[in-house]
């Protein structure tokens, strides 16, 4: 039976939200996916996996807005993480990050789930952060199987993740002799854009163009080069090469009586240092280019600035970048693009067709060992690590300047490349085209599960199914106390337990009100504690706990008793 639906994990209320002040690329990509899934998958039910109901409501609220025009409204369902086994009713869980290993352990420890009940599918955004690399490598030692997947949005990402897993597997074999028989699939499914929101009617495009160019005081002859994204010189992109190339281009255009260049940096400063540095940089590096800073987080800017520009440029040089949505958004808006020939840009932009890819170079493997070791040893922070690595990536500034000049002087070239880029964005990167690919992946994983279910040894649930690094604290540290509470012990009145029933309940209430116990009140069964203390007070020579073991109040009995002893209300020999 086809299983093309999925349960979408909502790790936090901000995971799919781009309205906040610290907009990140992964949030934009996640929001785009969720909107597209709700709009294009055509399902009658949409499922959210979340810790809390308010997190699950992220999906419901977005769905209600998108599906408002529909006569037949879909149903929005919430699964708490304790009910993760119910993903089997749907077929797959989709995660907006690389937490496949974590959810695989949740699947394994759930007493109502088997490994072949459902697939776990993660998405890879950035891949150079150490916690993310750890999460990816953990897939080899977690209960992850070939019917699970870690989606890679580009060949660049897939190559990196495959290399990481191969290196991890080689180490495990060297150290333990183990051979990793189970690996997740690493399918390539690109991130997408909503082409309909960018490829708009000529009248609307003209209106945006007039509004923004008037705001920026651009003449009809001025050439506007647009950069869109976070203005973070260290962990996003070093913008100096683009500034230098634009200055060279401006000088060449001036010498040939060509148009003037204006650079619009539509983004948001990552820090005060970035703002101070970048404002000084534009004055020093490109004095012949007018530079305008525009807040790229506003809905008006994210919708309209594309149509005021003539060229889009992003000379990314940072290993934190994996795919890059902004060049595709620019292509969807019919802009020719000038991008670096680096990471996922090498796959999305066709050189000489949609724009120009500018040559890049970086040192050979082995020349960055000191950087990663300093970062791994907490000598070098993440920001400085990626910034230093970026500093050694060369970009052909002369080629970039030539590309700017060619496009500035040739409106027909800009129009032709823009039209070809728009067609490519429509065909390859429109969410309407990509959502069926996600659905096909879920179907393929379902078929793999069905084939494996006949051969896979079903797990018998016990403590051994828990994550070995996430063990019960009273198991890992069972040797710490003088003794372990057990059913053979006798419970006696504690030094603070009053003999009078009214005073006894008052003392229990007083202990419960201590601020230090605020976070465990919901874990204590107060009626059971009252009944237990009444029996303890009635039997000063000792109450046997054995008859409590099978009662309805016996859940976590020894935890309750441990707390009573700490509170001075009970004692044991």
Assess contact for 477 and 37: CB atoms under 8 A: no
- Looking at the chain, how many residues does it have? 573
Please state the pTM of the whole predicted model. 0.87
pLDDT digits (tens, 9 = 90+) for 484-530: 888 888 899 999 999 999 999 999 999 999 988 888 888 888 998 99
Percent of the chain whose predicted confidence (pLDDT) is above 90: 76
pLDDT digits (tens, 9 = 90+) for 252-296: 999 999 999 999 999 999 999 999 999 999 999 999 999 999 999
pLDDT digits (tens, 9 = 90+) for 184-207: 999 999 999 999 999 999 999 999
Which tokens go with 141?
A: 């030692």
Residue range 168-192: mean pLDDT, rounded: 93
Which tokens go with 124?
A: 């890879």
DSSP 290-306: EEEEEETTSHHHHHHGG
Residues in contact with 511: Cβ distance below 8 Å, sequence separation at least 6, in sequence order: 517, 567, 568, 569
Kindly give the residue spans of alpha helices, DSSP state H, lying in 381-539. Answer: 382-391, 397-409, 411-424, 431-453, 473-476, 501-512, 526-538
> In a 10 Å sphere around its CB, with 0-12 CB exposed, 13-18 middle and 19+ buried, how is residue 69 labelled?
exposed
State how far the Cα of 218 lies from the Cα of 364, in Å rounded to an integer.
44
Torsion of CA 148, 154, 155, 158, to 10 degrees: -30
Assess contact for 187 and 151: CB atoms under 8 A: yes
Say which residue, 556 or 430, is predicted with more confidence. Answer: 430
> In a 10 Å sphere around its CB, with 0-12 CB exposed, 13-18 middle and 19+ buried, how is residue 524 labelled?
middle
pLDDT the model gives residue 540:
83
Assess contact for 3 and 446: CB atoms under 8 A: yes
pLDDT the model gives residue 553:
58
pLDDT the model gives residue 381:
93
State how far the Cα of 250 lies from the Cα of 231, in Å rounded to an integer.
22
With a cut of 70, say whether residue 21 has pLDDT above it: no
With a cut of 90, say whether residue 445 has pLDDT above it: yes
pLDDT the model gives residue 463:
47
pLDDT digits (tens, 9 = 90+) for 296-344: 989 999 999 999 999 999 999 988 888 889 999 999 999 999 999 999 9
With a cut of 60, say whether residue 563 has pLDDT above it: yes
pLDDT digits (tens, 9 = 90+) for 207-239: 999 999 999 999 999 999 999 999 999 988 999
pLDDT confidence bin for 551, thresholds 50/70/90 = low
Say which residue, 477 or 62, is predicted with more confidence. Answer: 62
State how far the Cα of 311 lies from the Cα of 223, in Å rounded to an integer.
8
pLDDT the model gives residue 2:
59
pLDDT digits (tens, 9 = 90+) for 375-419: 999 999 999 999 999 999 999 999 999 999 999 999 999 999 999
Segments of 270-379 assigned E as strands: 290-295, 311-314, 337-340, 355-358, 360-361
Return the number of other C-beta atoms located less than 10 Å from residue 368's C-beta.
16
pLDDT the model gives residue 6:
96
Percent of the chain whose predicted confidence (pLDDT) is above 70: 94
Residues in contact with 462: Cβ distance below 8 Å, sequence separation at least 6, in sequence order: none
Which tokens go with 533?
A: 């203390």
CA distances 363 to 380, 390, 395, Å, are 20, 11, 13
Mean pLDDT score of the chain: 91
Return the number of other C-beta atoms located less than 10 Å from residue 453's C-beta.
14
Residues in contact with 541: Cβ distance below 8 Å, sequence separation at least 6, in sequence order: 490, 492
Element (H, E) at 266: strand 261-269
Among 32, 43, 40, 39, smallest CA distance to 7 is for 43
With a cut of 70, say whether residue 533 has pLDDT above it: yes
Ranges 74-88, 153-167, 349-363, 534-548: which has the least confidence: 534-548
Assess contact for 504 and 532: CB atoms under 8 A: no
Residue range 349-360: mean pLDDT, rounded: 97
What are the backbone dihedrals phi and psi of residue 567, each rounded to the nearest 5 degrees, phi first?
-80, -5
Residues in contact with 245: Cβ distance below 8 Å, sequence separation at least 6, in sequence order: 315, 397, 398, 400, 401, 404
Assess contact for 119 and 147: CB atoms under 8 A: yes
Among 361, 346, 363, smallest CA distance to 396 is for 361
pLDDT the model gives residue 517:
87
Beta bridge partners of 263: 225, 291
What are the backbone dihedrals phi and psi of residue 344, each rounded to the nearest 5 degrees, phi first?
-65, -20
With a cut of 50, say whether residue 453 has pLDDT above it: yes
């Amino acid at each position: 039976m086809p299983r093309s639906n999925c349960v979408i994990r909502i790790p936090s209320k901000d995971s799919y939200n781009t309205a906040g002040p610290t907009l990140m690329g992964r949030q934009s990509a996640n929001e785009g996916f969720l909107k597209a899934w709700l709009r294009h998958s055509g399902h009658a039910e949409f499922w959210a996996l979340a810790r809390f109901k308010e997190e699950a409501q992220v999906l419901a609220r977005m769905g209600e807005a998108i599906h408002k025009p529909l006569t037949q409204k879909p149903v929005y369902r919430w699964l708490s993480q304790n009910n993760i086994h119910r993903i089997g009713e749907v077929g797959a869980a989709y995660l907006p990050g690389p937490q496949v290993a974590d959810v695989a352990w949740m699947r394994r420890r759930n007493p109502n789930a088997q490994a072949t009940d459902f697939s776990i599918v993660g998405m890879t955004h950035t891949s150079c952060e150490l916690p993310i690399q750890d999460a990816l490598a953990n897939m080899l030692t977690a209960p992850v199987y070939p019917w699970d997947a870690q989606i890679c949005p580009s060949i660049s990402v897939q190559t990196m993740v495959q290399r990481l897993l191969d290196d991890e597997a080689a180490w495990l074999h060297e150290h333990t002799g183990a051979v990793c028989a189970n690996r997740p699939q690493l399918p390539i499914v690109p991130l997408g854009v909503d082409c309909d929101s960018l490829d708009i009617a000529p009248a609307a495009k003209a209106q945006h163009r007039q509004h923004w160019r008037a705001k920026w005081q651009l003449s009809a002859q001025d050439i506007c080069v647009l950069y869109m994204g976070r203005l973070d010189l260290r962990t996003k992109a070093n913008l100096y090469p683009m500034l230098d190339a634009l200055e060279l281009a401006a000088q060449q255009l001036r010498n040939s009586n060509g148009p003037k260049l204006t650079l619009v940096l539509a983004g948001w400063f990552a820090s005060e240092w970035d703002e101070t540095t970048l404002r000084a940089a534009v004055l020093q590096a490109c004095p012949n280019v007018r530079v305008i800073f525009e807040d790229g987080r506003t809905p008006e800017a994210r919708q309209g600035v594309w149509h005021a520009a003539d060229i889009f440029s992003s000379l990314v040089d940072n290993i934190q970048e994996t795919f890059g949505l902004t060049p595709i958004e620019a292509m969807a808006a019919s802009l020719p693009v000038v991008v670096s020939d680096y990471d996922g840009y090498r796959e999305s932009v066709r050189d000489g067709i949609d724009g120009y890819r500018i040559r890049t170079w970086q040192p050979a493997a082995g020349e960055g060992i000191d950087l990663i070791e300093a970062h791994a040893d907490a000598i070098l922070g993440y920001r400085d690590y990626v910034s230093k690595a970026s500093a050694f990536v060369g970009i052909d500034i002369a080629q970039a300047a030539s590309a700017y000049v060619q496009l500035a002087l040739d409106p027909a070239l800009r129009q032709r490349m823009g039209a070809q880029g728009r067609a490519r964005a429509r065909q390859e990167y429109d969410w309407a085209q990509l959502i069926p690919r996600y659905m096909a992946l879920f179907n393929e994983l379902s078929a793999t599960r069905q084939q494996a279910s006949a051969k896979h040894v079903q797990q018998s649930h016990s403590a051994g199914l828990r994550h070995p690094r996430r063990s019960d604290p009273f198991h890992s540290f069972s040797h710490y106390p003088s003794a372990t509470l057990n059913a053979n012990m006798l419970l006696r009145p504690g030094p603070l337990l009053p003999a009078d029933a009214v005073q006894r309940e008052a003392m229990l209430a007083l202990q419960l009100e201590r601020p230090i116990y605020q976070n465990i009140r919901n874990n204590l069964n107060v009626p059971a504690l009252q009944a237990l203390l009444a029996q303890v007070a009635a039997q000063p020579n000792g109450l046997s706990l054995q008859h409590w073991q099978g009662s309805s109040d016996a859940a976590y009995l020894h935890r309750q008793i441990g707390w009573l002893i700490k509170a001075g209300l009970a004692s044991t020999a």
